């Protein structure tokens, strides 16, 4: 069974500083997803990482994937208040029926001035 | 608007009751996934339908059932409700039975169920 773990569970950030969220998964997966969720809202897709060494960037967020280490990171550069949200990573198991996504527990990010 | 429509947005009901949550996938999407999000369990996969057929099953209780209709909308039925069933229920859709390489799932805005 695929397990996905994120850490930290909570991240208090200072504006202007850099931070990293880690996502480990237990078995081989062929793609890794990052989502953002604002309180009480839906999940918004941020990145889809398809292969080892993949790196994607959007604004202050950059995600990378190391399939050998079964690790993805979400790096936040020069945090700003608007980035306060909960971030989820998710993975799917190769060739599993339906290819459902298994989510990590989420990292709640609070950016303080 | 993601294109995935869930109704109702909020639902308050008593223990022992039965409710139906509805999801209309994004136009062109054949696959529907249901997830439950609670504070203590996080996002849990419940069930997936692809073009009317059940494709995968997760941690779905026997009191819960789902179906996907010919017009591709899906309904999640929750019966004999308990306090612990209070959660956000999300529906997501994708074009194929597998998450698309470049898009993954598109999530609806969710139904917040409160059982009192």
**pLDDT, tens digit, for every residue of B30-78?**
889 999 999 877 899 999 999 999 988 988 999 999 999 999 999 999 9
Beta bridge partners of B91: B34
Residues from chain A contacting residue B99 (CB–CB below 8 Å): 31, 33, 92, 99, 101
Residues A26-63 have pLDDT tens digits of 987 778 999 999 988 999 999 999 888 889 999 999 99
Residue of A33, A42, A100 with shortest CB distance to B58: A100
Counting residues of chain A whose pLDDT is more than 70, the rounded percentage is: 95
**CA-based nearest residue to A97, from B30, B104, B49:** B49
Residues from chain B contacting residue A107 (CB–CB below 8 Å): none
Counting residues of chain B whose pLDDT is more than 90, the rounded percentage is: 73
Residue of A45, A50, A88 with shortest CB distance to B43: A88
The number of residues making up chain B comes to: 116
Chain B: closest CA distance from residue A33 (Å): 7
Q: Say which residue, B110 or A98, is predicted with more confidence.
A: B110
Sequence-distant (6+) residues with CB within 8 A of B115 are B13, B14, B15, B17, B81, B82, B83, B84, B85, B86
**CA-based nearest residue to A89, from A70, A111, A107:** A107
**CA-based nearest residue to A2, from A77, A96, A72, A110:** A96
The DSSP call for residue A68 is: T
Confidence of residue A99 (pLDDT cuts 50, 70, 90): low
Three-state DSSP class for residue A17: coil
Q: Token digits for A28?
A: 């081989």
Q: In the prediction, which pLDDT does B21 show?
A: 98
How far apart, in whole angstroms, are the C-alpha atoms of residue A21 and residue A46?
14
* Torsion sign (Cα): B58, A22, B94, B24: positive
> Is residue B98's pLDDT more than 80?
no
Residues from chain A contacting residue B2 (CB–CB below 8 Å): 42
Contact A99 B97 (CB under 8 A): yes
Residue of B42, B99, B110 with shortest CB distance to A101: B99
How far apart, in whole angstroms, are the C-alpha atoms of residue A103 and residue A23?
10
Confidence of residue B105 (pLDDT cuts 50, 70, 90): confident
Cβ of A3 under 8 Å from any chain B Cβ?
A: no
Q: In the prediction, which pLDDT does A97 show?
A: 59
Mean pLDDT over B12-35 rounds to 95
Cβ of A113 under 8 Å from any chain B Cβ?
A: no
Q: In the prediction, which pLDDT does A96 show?
A: 60
Helix ranges (DSSP H) in A1-113:
none
Confidence of residue A98 (pLDDT cuts 50, 70, 90): low
- What share of residues in chain B are helix, strand, coil (percent, to 5)? 5, 55, 45
CA-nearest residue to B38 within chain A is: A105
Q: In the prediction, which pLDDT does A55 show?
A: 92
Confidence of residue B100 (pLDDT cuts 50, 70, 90): low
Contact A31 B55 (CB under 8 A): no
Listed by number, the residues of chain A in 36-75 with a beta carbon closer than 8 Å to a beta carbon of chain B are 40-45, 48, 50
> Is residue B99's pLDDT more than 60?
no
Beta bridge partners of A52: none
**CA-based nearest residue to A14, from A98, A86, A102, A83:** A83
Cβ of A7 under 8 Å from any chain B Cβ?
A: no
> What's the N-to-C CA distance of chain B in angstroms?
30
Cβ of A110 under 8 Å from any chain B Cβ?
A: no
């Amino acid at each position: 069974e695929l397990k996905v773990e994120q850490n930290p569970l909570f991240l208090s950030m200072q504006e202007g500083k850099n931070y990293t969220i880690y996502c480990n998964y237990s078995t081989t997966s062929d793609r890794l997803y990052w989502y953002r969720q604002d309180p009480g809202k839906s999940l918004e897709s941020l990145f889809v990482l398809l292969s080892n060494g993949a790196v994607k960037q959007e604004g202050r967020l950059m995600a990378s994937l190391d399939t050998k280490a079964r690790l993805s990171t979400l790096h936040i550069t020069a945090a700003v208040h608007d980035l306060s949200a909960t971030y989820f990573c998710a993975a799917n198991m190769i060739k599993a029926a339906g290819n459902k996504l298994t989510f990590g527990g989420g990292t709640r990010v609070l950016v303080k001035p | 608007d993601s294109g995935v429509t869930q109704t109702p947005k909020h639902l308050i009901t008593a223990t022992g009751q039965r409710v139906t949550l509805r999801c209309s996938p994004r136009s062109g999407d054949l696959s529907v996934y249901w997830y439950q999000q609670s504070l203590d369990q996080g996002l849990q996969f419940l069930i997936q339908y692809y073009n009317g057929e059940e494709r995968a099953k997760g941690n779905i209780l026997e009191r819960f059932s789902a179906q996907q209709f010919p017009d591709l909308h899906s309904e999640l039925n929750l019966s004999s409700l308990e306090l612990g069933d209070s959660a956000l229920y999300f529906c997501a859709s994708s074009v194929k039975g597998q998450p698309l390489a470049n898009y993954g799932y598109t999530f609806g805005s969710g139904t917040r169920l409160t059982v009192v």
